[in-house]
Structure 1
Amino acid sequence: MLQLNKVHHIAIICSDYEKSKHFYTEILGLKAIQEIYREERDSYKLDLALNGEYIVELFSFPNPSERPSRPEACGLRHLAFEVNDIEQTRNFLIKNNISSETIRIDEFTAKRFFFIADPDDLPIEFYEI
């Protein structure tokens, strides 16, 4: 039987590297652990960590194609972050000019959650533990 240890990372391709870099590091608070410019691809790769764990690769490529639809396109649906205080998280994002859905309750777990969008309109969920 295959044995998986954990999710190693999630790769995200952005359309505006500086805008996305600011969002993921300054708004979400992920820590940049390595940034590489790949001249042959005219592409940046930024490795980001959460609480010391490498979790996101942020890529830039010239003229990436757009996501077909949101959020029900085939493929990765959304990125979710666990938080301790859902209201505090939502208020912080709103104060930083990030549009937010209202807080909802998961009908199966009774936990609270909400969604925002990153600079490329990729859905990001915050889920209260």
Structure 2
Amino acid sequence: MLQLNSVHHIAIICSDYERSKHFYTEILGLEIIREVYRAERDSYKLDLELNGQYIIELFSFPNPPARPSRPEALGLRHLAFAVSDVAAAKKELETAGIDVEPIRIDAHTGRRFTFFSDPDGLPLEFYEED
């Protein structure tokens, strides 16, 4: 059987690079590892980490095609971030002007969670861990 070690990264293509860079770094607090402009593609690639772990490649491309991204669309459903206190994380986002859904309880684990969106509507989740 194939032996996978971990998820290496998640790649996200955004429509407005500066707006998404601000969201992921200033609002969510991810740290920049490196930022590269690729002239041949007229594209930025921003590598982001969380707590020293490389997690997101943020790309910009001219005129990327639209893709359905609501949680029930075929394909990637959402990206979830573990937090210690969902209510506090929700309040921070709302203070920054980000719309956040009401907090729900996972029927199987009893854990609290909530959904919000990045600037392009990509569904994101905060899931409460100990």
- TM-score, normalising length: structure 2: 0.97
How far, CA to CA, are the matches of 1:63 and 1:32 in structure 2?
A: 24
2:74 corresponds to which residue?
Answer: 74
2:48 corresponds to which residue?
Answer: 48
TM-aligned CA deviation for residue 101 of structure 1: 0.0
How far, CA to CA, are the matches of 2:48 and 2:32 in structure 1?
A: 5
CA distance 1:24–1:69, change in 2 (3 Å): closer
1:5 corresponds to which residue?
Answer: 5
User: Given that residues 69 and 121 in structure 2 are in contact (C-alpha distance below 8 angstroms), is that contact kept between their aligned partners in structure 1?
Assistant: no
Determine if the alignment matches structure 1 residue 118 to structure 2 residue 118. Answer: yes
SS in 1 for 2:125: strand
Gaps of 5+ in 1: none
After TM superposition, where is structure 1 displaced by more than 2 Å over at least 4 residues in a row? none
1:57 corresponds to which residue?
Answer: 57
How far, CA to CA, are the matches of 1:42 and 1:115 in structure 2?
A: 32
- TM-score, normalising length: structure 1: 0.98
Gaps of 5+ in 2: none
How far, CA to CA, are the matches of 2:69 and 2:88 in structure 1?
A: 30
1:83 corresponds to which residue?
Answer: 83
What is the number of equivalent residue pairs in this alignment? Answer: 129
Residue-by-residue CA offset, 1:47-75 (whole Å, 9 max, x unaligned) = 00000110000000001111225122211
1:37 corresponds to which residue?
Answer: 37
The percent of aligned pairs where both chains have the same amino acid is: 70
RMSD: 0.7
